[in-house]
Amino acid sequence: MNYYGTRLATCSSDNLIKIFELKPSGQTYPSAELNGHTGPVWQVSWAHPKFDNVLASCSYDKRVIIWKEISGKWQRIYEWNHHDASVNSISWAPHQFGLTLACASTDTAVSLLIFNKAKIWTHQLIAKAHEQ
């Protein structure tokens, strides 16, 4: 659910992400279907609304996709595909740190995806971050 409780994003083993509008009356209706992964999607996460409508997704296909709603349509604005195995978990940093996403993979690495002041996505890879 987004910050305001007005939208819900779901993910599934059917490789799809679905966005639903949630109305105060309790009415719910689908508003978008995002198709970009080629494997089961494990998790979705909304960024802080300070960054507009931004959603991240991670998948068995070893990829993280950053989506943004632009002029009423969802677009893929960034794709990270440098893990060697399934990306199982994602989490946005508090908004004070900017648009920064942590991504954990079965390959034991954690990557940080950072939208910097030059408005370019950069990354930091922490190898063997959760190896036993």
Amino acid at 53: N
Q: Give CATH superfamily name and number for 7-126.
A: YVTN repeat-like/Quinoprotein amine dehydrogenase (2.130.10.10)
Q: In the prediction, which pLDDT does 90 show?
A: 99
Q: In the prediction, which pLDDT does 131 show?
A: 76
Sorted by where each begins, the domain ranges of the chain are: 7-126
Reduce the DSSP state of residue 119 to 3 states and report it.
Answer: coil
Q: In the prediction, which pLDDT does 130 show?
A: 83
7: number of Cβ within 10 Å: 18
Q: In the prediction, which pLDDT does 24 show?
A: 94
Q: In the prediction, which pLDDT does 102 show?
A: 98
End-to-end Cα distance, the chain: 33
pLDDT per residue, tens digit, the chain (132 aa), is: 999 999 999 999 999 999 999 999 999 999 999 999 999 999 999 999 999 999 999 999 999 999 999 999 999 999 999 999 999 999 999 999 999 999 999 999 999 999 998 999 999 999 999 876
Q: In the prediction, which pLDDT does 29 show?
A: 96
CA-CA distance, 48 to 21, in Å (whole number)? Answer: 17
CA-CA distance, 46 to 123, in Å (whole number)? Answer: 19
CA-CA distance, 121 to 27, in Å (whole number)? Answer: 37
Q: In the prediction, which pLDDT does 98 show?
A: 96
